[in-house]
Structure 1
Amino acid sequence: MKKVSVVVPIYNEGSNVSKLIDILLETDDIYEVIFSDASDDGDAKKIIEANGFSYIKSPKGRSFQMNEGFKQSSGDIVFFLHCDSKIEKNCISSIIKASENGVNFGCLTIAFDDTRLLMKICGFMSNFRVNHRKIAFGDQGMFFSRELFTKLNGFAEIPIMEDYDISIRAKKFEAVTKLDDRIITSSRKYYKGYGRFNYGKLSFIGILLNMWDMQVYQHKFRAGSSLEDINRMYYKK
């Protein structure tokens, strides 16, 4: 049976680390878990290692952290998981089965932890993008065979949109396959519309602005705009 390494980039995640560890301990067929930390959270290190998982330090930046986690991994398949996501018990088993059936690049079916209608639409549109444009984002739980990820030279070490970039580059070898297994992803990035407005928890305006902004960022990326400019727009610096 193929082995799956789970790589989790973290940065000041607080209680999310403990919550994810609880989920991973109940998940079948995990070979190893590597938390790649860009912060100085001593508590995270203690709880990660106390549960038998690996903890490594990395330069800040999700692409750097995931690449460093990959370098430290030894599985046949590497599954990149965000710390604020939840996976199902049989998720890893499904990834192994897909890999044994020839899938080298895949992701999961996304749903958000807020179940209001507009967030369900966001989830639908994300899954539609994977099915029809063959573009996966990091919050959809991307996984790669070691061979393909090595061939791609990993994630481009850029400040933003490393997931979009690798999806495009991977298409030259193999389009992404979406599994039916669900990944429940946090809605926290929708709460304030990336700083434009603040109407409290998960504002309607924030959701709409986020959906619009994601299309703008993708267009700018394809048009060759400066990644530093896109990064400033994203974080409203």
Structure 2
Amino acid sequence: MSLCDSDAVLSVIIPVLNEAVGLPTLLTELTEQCGQCPDAVEIIFVDGGSSDASTALIAASGFRLVAGPRGRARQMNVGASLASGNYLLFLHADTQLPKHAFDRVICVLESGLWGRFDVRIRGKAQMFKVISWFMNWRSRLSGIATGDQAIFVREAAFIEVGGFPDQPLMEDIALSSLLREREAPVCLRNKVETSGRRWQERGVWRTILLMWRLRYLYWRGVPAEQLASRYE
């Protein structure tokens, strides 16, 4: 089923904090994704206090812009609370959707509860292909999705689990765990592309080891608030 053929409205929620460099590309892509059915898609940007040109760029695009408390989980929860759609798609500002992404989300959520896309890390490092493959394989095996994979969910299910837990890190893992208790995610093989900037700035292997350690500690019960300082 395509977006135009569905009675559903899809709300795309994008948390933003100083993303001016990549926003022009994202805004152009979102305009193209809405295509011939703009009334079936609602784009909501939630700014967490940007000090660059992010808010000016979004305002000029005509998409909805609201302010929220800083923190990705809080910003996405604010966006969800204002959304009018019965389907929600959470998109990071440095992530690009595949073609016809909205149609694919609609097709899944017409019968399923939630899901995510496969991911490809964008950048020159050869290791990015390996990292992406392991991220997608681990997600498919565990039923846990990361925010980079553009999680989408029925609004009713999102409300039932209480939205994203109010924590500064691992909010995507926490939400996935809650949703997985109700139903396994639909894992689309269509790939979103996310920026590899963080990996390149910190060093690929250093970032891999850091993320593995943080996930292990989180699994062992270390509070996300303590892990956030190590991540930063």
Common fold by TM > 0.5: yes
1:210 deviates by 1.6
User: Which residue identity lines up with residue 185 of structure 2 in the other structure?
Assistant: V
Matches within 5 A, 1:167-178: 167-178=176-187
Q: Please say if residues 17 and 54 of structure 2, whose CA atoms lie closer than 8 Å, have aligned partners that are also in contact.
A: no
User: Which residue identity lines up with residue 216 of structure 1 in the other structure?
Assistant: R
CA distance in 1, matches of 2:125, 2:55: 35
How has the CA–CA distance of structure 1 residues 62 and 218 changed in structure 2, closer, same or farther, with 3 Å as cutoff?
A: same
Q: Please say if residues 130 and 176 of structure 1, whose CA atoms lie closer than 8 Å, have aligned partners that are also in contact.
A: no
- Pick the aligned partner of 1:4 from 10, 14, 25: 10
CA distance in 2, matches of 1:139, 1:149: 18
1:91 deviates by 0.4
Secondary structure at the counterpart of residue 33 of structure 2: coil
Q: Name the structure 2 match of 1:15.
A: 21
Deviations 1:15-56 (A, max 9, x none): 222221011011145511000001145843333233221000
Secondary structure at the counterpart of residue 92 of structure 2: coil
The normalised TM-score by structure 1 is: 0.89
CA distance in 1, matches of 2:185, 2:213: 22
CA distance in 1, matches of 2:78, 2:187: 25
Q: Please say if residues 108 and 142 of structure 1, whose CA atoms lie closer than 8 Å, have aligned partners that are also in contact.
A: yes
User: Which residue identity lines up with residue 27 of structure 1 in the other structure?
Assistant: Q
CA distance in 2, matches of 1:143, 1:43: 28
CA distance in 2, matches of 1:223, 1:8: 30
The count of corresponding residues between Structure 1 and Structure 2 is 222
User: Which residue identity lines up with residue 76 of structure 2 in the other structure?
Assistant: M
Residue identity (%): 27
Q: Name the structure 2 match of 1:214.
A: 211
Gaps of 5+ in 1: 194-205
Q: Please say if residues 97 and 191 of structure 2, whose CA atoms lie closer than 8 Å, have aligned partners that are also in contact.
A: yes
How has the CA–CA distance of structure 1 residues 147 and 18 changed in structure 2, closer, same or farther, with 3 Å as cutoff?
A: same
Secondary structure at the counterpart of residue 14 of structure 1: coil
